[in-house]
Amino acid sequence: MEGRFMKKITKNELTLNSIKATQFNEFDLYQLADISYEHGSPWQIHVFKNDLVLAYVDYLVLHDEHQLIGFIGYRQIFEEIEVTNIVIHPTFKKQGLAQLLLTSLVETVENAEMIHLEVRVSNRQGIQLYEKNGFKEIGIRPNYYQNPYEDAKLMQLEINQEKSEINV
């Protein structure tokens, strides 16, 4: 996975690539997550740091010359992808960048057949994005999230036949 993906985005002169090919690190991920999530970052810095050393984990980061604008974190174990975070800086929300990250993930991963994730049941925008892209609800995890406690909706996308059909 390391550094093989890079995409120049014309919108706002942004670049999208693996965090492993950039100067960004766990502190940047944490700071962006902390200001972007309604209840602050769900992960501490050490969790991001531990993630970044694992061969099966990557973060596609969207950035300009100076700052991190967004990222999608994921783990790939064999044919399954688990999305751990999708984060967009508050200033850049509602510009289609979360869609860009999700689409780029589907285009980037190799040998994957399924993507799954959890999303807060109150996160209507996230749920709409995932449903628009073919994710289906497969269950609920009661009280999965803390601060505040909230259920998680489990969603899944089979990408072996959907890969070419995801909305761009």
Q: How confident is the model at residue 6 (pLDDT cuts 50, 70, 90)?
A: low
Closest C-alpha to 36, from 86, 111, 99: 86
pTM to 2 decimal places: 0.87
Residue 92: CB atoms within 10 Å: 19
Cis? peptide before 142, omega within 30° of 0:
no
52 within a domain of the structure (yes/no): yes
1 within a domain of the structure (yes/no): no
Q: Which two tokens stand for residue 78?
A: 């064999």
40 within a domain of the structure (yes/no): yes
8 A C-beta contact, residue 163 and residue 106: yes
8 A C-beta contact, residue 9 and residue 62: yes
Task: Give the CATH number, domain containing residue 160.
Answer: 3.40.630.30
Say what the pLDDT of residue 38 is. Answer: 85
Active site residue 130: yes
Radius of gyration of the chain measured on its C-alpha atoms = 15
Q: How confident is the model at residue 157 (pLDDT cuts 50, 70, 90)?
A: very high
SS3 149: coil
Given 118, 137, 158, 162, which residue is catalytic? 118
Residue 74 belongs to domain spanning: 6-165
Q: What domain count does the chain have?
A: 1
Higher pLDDT, 163 or 43: 43
> Per-residue pLDDT tens for 33-51?
999 988 889 899 999 999 9
> Per-residue pLDDT tens for 71-108?
999 999 999 999 999 999 999 999 999 999 999 999 88
Given 30, 59, 74, 130, which residue is catalytic? 130
130 within a domain of the structure (yes/no): yes
Q: How confident is the model at residue 65 (pLDDT cuts 50, 70, 90)?
A: confident
